Structure 1
Amino acid sequence: MRKPQIDYAAVFHALPGMVALLTPDLVYIDANEDFLRLAGRTREQLLGRYIFDVFPENPNDPAAAGMRETRESMLRVVSTGERDTMALLRYDIEDSERPGTWVEHFWSPVNAPVLGPDGRVVLIVHRVEEVTELICARGRTGSDSSRAVLEAELYTRSRELQEVNERLRRAHAREREVGLSLQAAMLPAPTLVGHHRAAVRYRPAVGTLNVCGDWYDLVDLPGDRIAVAVGDVVGHGLEAAGVMGQLRSALSAAARVADGPARALEALGLYARHVAGAESTTVVKAYIDWDTHTVTYSSAGHPPPILLHPDGTVTLLDRATDPPLGARPEHVPRPEASTAFPEGATLVLYTDGLIERRDEDIDVGLARLADSLVRHGRADPEALADALLADLLPPTGNTDDTALVIIRL
């Protein structure tokens, strides 16, 4: 069956109800037919213009607050990347055919973000429920007091909704703060990496609760060896931080007794079956042996580590990849692979927040990481870590958290 071709522009203009699109600078770039009709404006009067130049506040109403509340709501959307539901508001509009005449309107707006590939807000969807007719009809069929009661009731209900949303925002902010503090306590700077240079980074998501699921671990092993791991727990907030702490500790212990990364991941997988929220966790484990100049690794559904050679070539360590933790109903031995490394090579482990972007194939992100590694690879691990984050993460922050480990071999 042939896939239908959808004209999304036509769909947008035919949407029932008032819908407009604005830039993060609050400039109109499109509006559907209902918006134009109910707002009493032509397309030419809207497009390319700042919203409050088109719809200024009624100068005859000193108590008017519609412009201020709408602006604050839209700017919250831009800064947080999250939807914002406004309370019912009165927003008078100047009659375009009778300058100086203001017509009262009662609107219930919702502002929602459209995110670009880098996670930043590129558009604001401004949807308005027009309830003026409801209030005016009540005023025509009843007394002025009845209309006032209805207005007050609608206003009160909308304010209650706004207060609930505000309480949820504050609760999310507290959970985010506590979760990040907990994660920071469980992800200290590495101290047990022998005499070899290493750098670690953790960058929380900006403006969302998608934090506290990424983690790393480094373990000093007998001989000139270390074990390193990076993982990503599905979920966010305090729950993800708790699961992350349990899995990190369990894998750290397993690395000290297992005879290789695959066996360590098998032990972790068995343990994860008894940890709520651990299912679908991805993790990669690598053992580095400087006596034999080899990296032995195993991956449970995680993006592949990258080995940067001194000559500037890169190798993806992707020959031992298996499904994430808990993806199989029964225990199955995990694969393991080894690769030799020359002195002066660099090993990089990371979570998907470093490379993945919406509407972009993962290979594009991997190529971007490889290119950045080649350009900055001669830097020491600390400087290299900062350079990779600067190259690969949006300057305003990412919508997913990111963990990064770099080891000079």
Structure 2
Amino acid sequence: MNEKAIDYEAVFQGLPGMVALLTPELVYADANEDFQRLSGRSRAELVGRYIFDVFPDNPNDPTATGMRDVQASMLRVVATGERDTMALQRYDVEDPTRPGQWEERYWSPVNAPVFGPDGRVALIVHRVEEVTELIRLRGRQGGNGRARVLEAELYTRARELQELNERLRQAHAREREVALALQEAMLPAGRQVSNHRAAVRYRPAVGALNVCGDWYDVVDLVGGNRIGVSVGDVVGHGLAAAGVMGQLRSALSATSRVADGPAQALDVLGRYAHVVDGAESATAVTTFVDFDAHTVTYSSAGHPPPVLIHPDGRVEFLDLATDPPLDARPDPIPRPQAVTTFTSGATLALYTDGLIERRREDIDSGLTRLADALVRHRTADPEPLADAVLLELLPPGGATDDTALIIVRL
């Protein structure tokens, strides 16, 4: 069959079972005929409206959490880009013909992402299996006592799962607070380096602890009007990765101050990584900026390339001195380095892969988005420029990997 001849609107409407499409803001974009029929809501009553304005929790039941659970599931889908299957939910629905009258219903929901051309979640597929009649039928077959036992067991199991998830979420939040406090203590805040403006940003991943795996640093170098700018990425997340990150960042910061150039700094860091548990396959890139000579000398250990935006909008990826990650070779050999020139007013950006990588997308697409954003906002000061880049490149609900970004006005 010719794919262009398929009427996907008709397919959607004919899907068996309740299926709706929602935006990442949880606003109905469409609903198939079964969804409209079984929910008792017309398409006009659904499309363009916030899901919880259409289906609020039963105000007469203080224990009702159905819609809050659905909201949490959908936001997980937006944040992670992964399908989320929910436990059986009891969710009462108000009779549209009798305001204030609520009917006890049971649902089995699944929420799944639909990705847009930019790799972000563009829509949420909300598929609902209506199981109220099944529960009622089993109750009739086994008598009232058996029906109530079955209903109570199903509902109790669902609530137990929800309570367990909530306890895990709270424990996770406390651990995350500890890790973020450690993150702030180990990474420097934005500052002025040698009278040159620099902006730094760090965004932890969503959906898990996922903090402290990335690092950044900006240091004054010995001799002349020079600074060193670097970023790095430790494999893994959480507090263990934080310890490795702190060791590597401190080592590179110290080494950069005495090294002849960025390649030598990464040579020494690679040898140090060899004796640090958890530093396997860590990546880093460092640049030495000489404001008197108007040069940027750089070297990369398996890390995405820095970007140099010239005042006229020309984009230059610093990718001519790339080597394997730290501790990748049993017998290290000298790493390469390259040098390029700049004029006053240029912008240098270093970042980690969380800023540019997306599922099911070539990395070149992320690099192009980054370059486009930097060019469009290149006249802005580093602080608003950094905010604009994060706003345009990170998914609305946050990325699934840590993100570090440094922007320096040269």
The structure 2 residue matched to 1:76, chosen from 72, 78, 81, is 72
How many Å separate the matches in 1 of 2:57 and 2:377?
Answer: 53
Conserved 8 A contact 1:117-1:357: no
**TM-score of the superposed pair, with normalisation by structure 1:** 0.77
Identity, % of aligned positions: 61
Q: Residue 271 of structure 1 aligns to a residue in which SS?
A: helix
How many Å separate the matches in 1 of 2:212 and 2:377?
Answer: 28
Conserved 8 A contact 1:119-1:398: no
How many Å separate the matches in 2 of 1:11 and 1:236?
Answer: 42
User: Partner amino acid for 1:122?
Assistant: A
How many angstroms does 1:179 deviate by? 1.7
> What's 2:203 paired with?
204
How many Å separate the matches in 2 of 1:274 and 1:228?
Answer: 24
Once the two structures are superposed, what CA deviation does each residue of 1:280-319 show, in whole Å capped at 9, x if it has no partner? Answer: 3332111223454432211122221122334443322110
Gap change, CA 1:8 and 1:273, over 3 Å in 2: farther
User: Partner amino acid for 1:231?
Assistant: G
How many angstroms does 1:320 deviate by? 0.8
Gap change, CA 1:267 and 1:114, over 3 Å in 2: farther
Alignment of 1:9-408 (within 5 A): 19-23=19-23, 24-27=25-28, 29-31=30-32, 39=38, 48=47, 62-63=60-61, 69-77=65-73, 79=75, 81=78, 83=84, 85-86=86-87, 88-89=89-90, 91=92, 105-114=105-114, 116=116, 122-132=122-132, 134-189=134-189, 193=193, 195-205=194-204, 207-209=206-208, 210-224=210-224, 225-328=226-329, 331-358=332-359, 360-390=361-391, 392-393=393-394, 398-408=399-409
How many angstroms does 1:147 deviate by? 1.8
How many Å separate the matches in 2 of 1:205 and 1:40?
Answer: 39
User: Partner amino acid for 1:238?
Assistant: L
Larger deviation: 159-168 or 346-355? 346-355
Larger deviation: 313-322 or 118-127? 118-127
User: Partner amino acid for 1:208?
Assistant: G
How many angstroms does 1:219 deviate by? 2.6
How many angstroms does 1:321 deviate by? 1.3
How many Å separate the matches in 2 of 1:242 and 1:161?
Answer: 34
Conserved 8 A contact 2:284-2:302: yes
Q: Which runs of 5+ in 2 are unaligned?
A: none
Gap change, CA 1:17 and 1:339, over 3 Å in 2: same
Conserved 8 A contact 1:118-1:398: no
How many Å separate the matches in 1 of 2:342 and 2:91?
Answer: 68
Q: Which runs of 5+ in 1 are unaligned?
A: none
User: Partner amino acid for 2:199?
Assistant: V
Conserved 8 A contact 2:73-2:86: no
How many Å separate the matches in 2 of 1:314 and 1:374?
Answer: 8
User: Partner amino acid for 2:270?
Assistant: G
Gap change, CA 1:236 and 1:144, over 3 Å in 2: same
Q: Residue 142 of structure 1 aligns to a residue in which SS?
A: helix
How many Å separate the matches in 2 of 1:290 and 1:102?
Answer: 71
RMSD between aligned residues: 4.3
